[in-house]
Copies of this chain bind each other. A is one copy, B any other.
Amino acid sequence: MTETKSLTIGALAARTGLSVSAIRFYEEKGLVEPFRSSGGQRRFLRSDIRRLSFVLIAQQLGLTIGEIERQLASLPHGRTPTQADWTRISKAMRKVIDARIAQLERTRDRLDGCIGCGCLSLKKCQLYNPEDRVGLKGPGPRLVLED
């Protein structure tokens, strides 16, 4: 028991804080690829702790499982990820965070305008034309808010 080379699903759950069922679900989605014991039980690499921890972080940032899978796809399943691997992914994640912060700051700025102007009723309000909802359905004003 001293030189454990692999982890059972229960041990992995304890180490990551995930439930056993969630880990099985992540396997199904391709986020981890355990091998099997002679009796058919899952056996995980210690590096899978890192992989799943990464999943948890990425989820906090709002990435979907599919997006996370794409990030992780760049890591080999068979070997322990190197520092370079993680650095590359971490930098990609940082861009995601920066973008989300920037978007929230834009929203905050618009909201500040509203607080001062009795907004949510004014045609000039920018909050109702956030980047992705503008002009989706042909011409003419939509989402304008003038009472």
> What's the number of copies of this chain in the assembled complex?
2
Check if A90 sits within 8 Å of B115, measured CB to CB: yes
Q: Is A97 an interface residue (CB 8 A)?
A: yes
Can you name 27 A-B residue pairings with CB atoms under 8 Å? A15-B142, A15-B143, A15-B144, A17-B136, A17-B143, A46-B147, A47-B147, A49-B145, A50-B145, A53-B120, A56-B133, A56-B143, A57-B107, A57-B127, A57-B128, A60-B107, A60-B130, A80-B147, A81-B120, A83-B118, A86-B121, A87-B115, A90-B120, A94-B112, A97-B107, A100-B104, A101-B108
4 other A-B residue contacts (CB within 8 Å) besides A16-B143, A86-B120 = A57-B128, A81-B120, A93-B111, A97-B108
